[in-house]
Amino acid sequence: MKLTVDGTEHELDIETDMPLLWVLRDELGLTGVKYGCGIAECGACMVHIDGQAVHSCQTLVGDVWGEVTTIHGLAAPGTLHAVQAAWVKHQVAQCGYCQSGQIMQAAALLAQTPDPTDQEIDDAMSMNLCRCGTYPRIRAAVRTAARTLQEGTQ
Amino acid sequence: MSRAGKIARRTFLTGSIATAGGVAFGVYMYRRPSANPLAAGLHEGEAALTPYVLIRPDGVTLITPRADLGQGAAHVQALLIAEELDIELDQVGLDPGPPSAAYYNTALSREALPFASTNESRLAETARSLMDAPIKFLGIQITGGSTTVPDGWQKLRVAGAVARETLKAAASLETGLPVSDLRTRGGAVLLPDGTRLPYTGLAARAAEIDPVTDVTLRDPSAWRLIGKPTMRSDITAKSTGQQLYGIDVTLPGMLFAALRTNPRQGGEMLGYDASRAETMRGVHKIVPVTGGVGVLADNSWRAMRAVEAIRIDWGPAPYRPHQGEHWRALENSFTDKRRDSRLRNDGDVDATLASTTPLEAEYRAPYLAHAPLEPMNATLQIKDGKVDIWTGTQIPRFVQKNVASVVGVKPAQVHVHVTMSGGSFGHRLEDMMVRRAAELAMQADGRPVKLTLSREEDMAHDYPRQIAMARGRGTVSGGHVQAFDLGIAMPSIMRSQMRRLGMPMMGADLQIVAGAWDQPFAIPDYRVSGYRAPDLAPISSWRSVGASTNGFFHESFLDELIHAAGADPLEERLRLCNHAPSRKVLETVGEMSDWGAPLPEGRARGIAFCLSFGTPCAEVVEVTVTESGIRIDKVHVAAEVGRVIDPVNFENQVQGGVIWGLGHAILAETTYDDGMAEQRNFDSFRFMRMYQCPEIIVRGLENDSRVRGIGEPPVPPAAPALANAIFAATGIRLRQMPFVRDMDFV
Ligand code: FES
Ligand code: FES
């Protein structure tokens, strides 16, 4: 089976019903993608498939329809995506375990909705759980990232 | 203070940790500095200046032995050392260090004594200093009780200063210049002509001389780091997927393991049939362990799928199986026989209650899982008589000892590498899962084994927060609160936890009344009694421990009485408060929230206060009644901590604590049926998400001379402040968590 992840094509001999999450973590060593619940409730496992945010724990590898982007491939090596830069600036993370998923969700939101309302931010980001309670900082960081991205495109 | 005199002798020796071994001997051992655990691993040209500073030719490493669970502990510990060492945070590496008696936690034992933290009497102070000795003697290296900062405040700055002065002495020997001519900055000793001698180059010389221990700590006016916003060293890694947690440990030849043990906690496995699992792809071995069975495979998912395919016959729960029986046990525990403590008994409560019809109320708080987002995991390799363990833990010394006994080796042969944790909230004060992982690794022929619990397996074995109940009776007179009598019943958290760690638990369990008996109020007739319910489901410390339930009970009932008296909830608390720093906290939160200013129809404020872990914290919650339920708009928080070490991390911790308190209060509970926790994933164990998260405005006060922690204190006032706001808005008094049972939230 072929799978393209973060721009690299892999040839894999695995079951088609293995969740993408475990292919990424255990077969490809992309451990920035996190396991939290396995049932599409927490969002820690979020990746993009052709730019769309999906729960990799509930996506079977055989059903992957496009190129996969993980937190490791969101920005070019050695650089930060605007969302990541905003996460650093606001020092969002506590334990940080949910943050790969939060960042992937926020990046997908801003790609589709460059100037989201507070309501749109809350709606999209409510897909992701943070047990440490970093929501106020996530809100602020999403707004900062939206501004940076808009300035960049003007 | 008279309160201290009423404490029975047996409680004097108590606490959360038994003081076996005798105080005198303990004191003797205590006076000898603990051996420096870094000394053994040094090579030529390296120096371990105090157990906290390691200097090698290629860099400086600061040792941060309190576990980083996401609360920024590593950063804060490093900051305190670096302040005195004159080095920048981006010039050092951080390492949790080996488990060692040198890293004992004295602040934790101090707060375990039966003196309110506001009590600074001689007796209380003497007791606190006596307690230091046995804790150090036992070498208890624990992260918990919001003690990282109070414990390290002096110790870590001294460690930095000792290292700095020793490096100066080394530079003096090297150059022949007197120490008084030398300065330090940016990780180097500066000579009068401006020449920089980096610390790394002085390590060899520093290692040869005795450490300079006669040091003076800097005046606050000279601080570069303390109190200033700094960038946490783990932030970039945690924003790019680069941070490695225990669950990410990968070693050559490693096997991946999954586990199922009896969801009736502590129950046996009567039998199992793994015939299907054995044939599944990637399965290497089926391994029975204590109370269950594990699978070793070549991938976590294959291991989890195979372990699910095993048919298992579970034995009964060693406790009452049904939730209803647990509540009944609490209801029946308000008896003289079960009375565990009565540390607060002012005035004449019985006489006042008898003189009129008292107001009565009953409150309940459920079991709650810790459920940090990273499921429990441990990686072990057992090879050539040596055991290596990689895991996120708050109790590395217990892990070392307990795994040694499972494997049958000496603790010295067990090496614990503490990893970054994806949250804990008290969950990592337990090590059963690591012991099971050791049983699996023993069957792996020397190969490393990473055990990852599925979310369901983790939550089935989460020793949850205590279930608790309270009954209040009180009276008011002349517009004021006159009598306040609160009884609290819960099983003993400390007994449950200590038993699993193989330690005796003596005396009263102060957690049964923590956050209630020790509040700084001068109510004329004021009594708080703790009742120890029989052991039910095994329980453990959960962020803010006893105060997580007791703050809700105390502050809800006080609010009920204040409303019955017709008084203002803030004014009356201020009138009753007899502790200056706590008054200031209440006044501040009043100012911040514009308390008393009128609000539009359908909106209201509620206030609550709790002094826990020595930190007074007050919160005002503002809510709006909407057509589809209550909306939590805003929370103002003020807390007195003596010193805010890093304002960014401080704010993040307080906001997280408030969300923790509110999120569970409205939504979450763990219940038991047939001896098993019913909520085993985040679909049924619900928690606040962003759309429900209020704006949270934080202020840290620095009026007290003692430095306090902030990880837990914002939790206890959150639930009662919300319930009090909902009462103000609707007239409905919520006396049972989770509130969603009685009310909708948007
Ligand atoms: S692990 Fe996929 S949503 Fe939680
Ligand atoms: S930062 Fe810990 S779960 Fe979000």
| Residue A140: pLDDT over 80 | yes
Per residue in B340-374, pLDDT (tens digit) is: 999 999 999 999 999 999 999 999 999 999 999 99
| Distance of alpha carbon B637 from alpha carbon B632, whole angstroms | 14
The mean per-residue pLDDT over the stretch B559-585 comes to: 98
Query: What proportion of chain A, given as a percentage, has pLDDT over 90?
Result: 97
* Residue B134, pLDDT score: 37
- Which stretch of A4-13, B375-384, B391-400, B602-611 has the lowest confidence by average pLDDT? B391-400
Contact B648 A91 (CB under 8 A): yes
Tens digits of per-residue pLDDT, B234-251? 999 999 999 999 999 999
Residues 90-119 of A with CB under 8 A from B: 91-100, 103
Please report residues of A whose CB lies closer than 8 A to that of B69.
95
Topology (CATH) of B246-317+376-452: Aldehyde Oxidoreductase; domain 4 (3.30.365)
CATH (residue range B33-105+140-228): 3.30.365.10
Compute the average pLDDT of residues B663-667: 98
- CB-closest option in A19, A41, A80 to B683: A41
- Three-state SS across B427-471? HHHCCHHHHHHHHHHCCCCCCCEEEECCHHHHHHCCCCECCEEEE
Distance of CA B224 to the CA centre of its chain: 28
Q: Give me the pLDDT at residue B14, please.
A: 23
Nearest CA residue ID for atom 4, ligand 2: A130
Q: Is the pLDDT of residue A55 over 60?
A: yes
Tell me the CATH number for domain B323-368+464-741.
3.30.365.10
Q: Residues B252-275: what's their mean pLDDT?
A: 98
Q: Closest Cα of chain B to A9: distance in Å?
A: 20
Three-class DSSP category at B325: helix
Cβ atoms < 10 Å from Cβ of B432: 18
Nearest to A18 among B250, B301, B693 (CB): B301
Residue B288: its H or E element: strand B283-289
Average pLDDT over residues B148-176: 89
Cα–Cα dist B491/B498, whole Å = 13
Query: Count of A–B CB contacts within 8 Å?
Result: 175
Mean pLDDT of chain B: 89
User: Nearest CB to B682: which of A26, A41, A92?
Assistant: A41
Q: Scanning every residue of chain B, which has its alpha carbon at the shortest distance from the alpha carbon of A83?
A: B239
How far is Cα A56 from Cα A54, in angstroms, rounded to an integer?
A: 6
Mean pLDDT of B277-300: 98
Which of B239, B247, B683 minimises the CB distance to A93?
B239
- Structural domain spans, chain B: 33-105+140-228, 246-317+376-452, 323-368+464-741
CA distance linking residue B461 with residue B376, whole number of Å:
10
Residue B384 has a pLDDT of 95
Burial tier of B219 (Cβ tally within 10 Å: 0-12, 13-18, 19+): exposed
* A28 shares contact with chain B (CB less than 8 Å): no
Rounded CA gap, A28 and A12, in Å? 10
Q: What is the pLDDT of residue B60?
A: 86
For A136, name the nearest residue in chain B, comparing CA atoms only: B695
Structure-token pair, residue A131: 């047990």
Percent of chain B with pLDDT over 70: 87
So what's the pLDDT on residue B39? 65
What pLDDT sits at residue B706?
87
Residues B74-132: pLDDT tens digits?
A: 898 899 999 999 999 999 888 887 776 666 665 655 544 555 666 666 555 544 544 44
* Nearest one of B615, B567, B618, B558 to B590, comparing CA atoms: B618
Q: What is the pLDDT of residue B41?
A: 66
Contact B47/A at CB under 8 A: no
The per-residue b/e assignment along B440-462, b for 16 or more CB within 10 angstroms, e otherwise, is bbbbbeebbbbbbbbbbbbbbbb
B559 exposure class (CB count in 10 Å sphere: 0-12, 13-18, 19+)? buried
Q: For residues B299 and B303, give the distance between their C-alpha atoms in angstroms, rounded to a whole number.
A: 6
B residues 662-681 lying closer than 8 A (beta carbon) to A: 663, 681
All structural domains of chain A, each given as residue ranges with its CATH number in brackets, are: 2-73 (3.10.20.30), 82-151 (1.10.150.120)
Question: What does the pLDDT read at residue B98?
Answer: 73
Instruction: Give the model's pLDDT for residue B80.
Output: 92
The answer to whether the beta carbons of residues B47 and B204 sit under 8 Å apart is: yes
When comparing pLDDT for A62 and B135, which is higher?
Answer: A62
Give the closest residue (by CA) to ligand 1 atom 3: A40
ipTM of the complex: 0.98
Question: What's the pLDDT score for residue B23?
Answer: 16
Least confident piece of the model among A7-16, B40-49, B469-478, B735-744 = B40-49
Q: What pLDDT, on the 0 to 100 scale, is given for residue B498?
A: 87
Chain A CB contacts of B653 below 8 Å: 94
Partners of A18 on chain B (C-beta within 8 Å) are: 299, 301
Q: What is the mean pLDDT of residues B607-630?
A: 97
Mean pLDDT, rounded, for B612-621: 96
Interval B5-62: pLDDT, tens:
232 222 222 222 222 221 111 122 223 345 666 666 667 667 666 778 888 888 888 8
Stretch B715-738: mean pLDDT: 98
Q: What is the pLDDT of residue B108?
A: 55
pLDDT recorded at residue B489:
98
pTM, two decimals, is 0.91
CB-defined site of ligand 1, < 6 Å: A 35-38, 40-45, 55, 57
pLDDT score for B145: 63
- Confidence band, pLDDT 50/70/90 cuts, at residue B204: confident
Q: Please give, rounded to a whole number of angstroms, the shortest distance from the CA of A154 to a CA of chain B.
A: 26
Please check whether the two domains, B246-317+376-452 and B323-368+464-741, share a CATH topology: yes
- For residue B106, the model assigns a pLDDT of 58
Output the CA B677–ligand 2 centroid distance in Å: 24
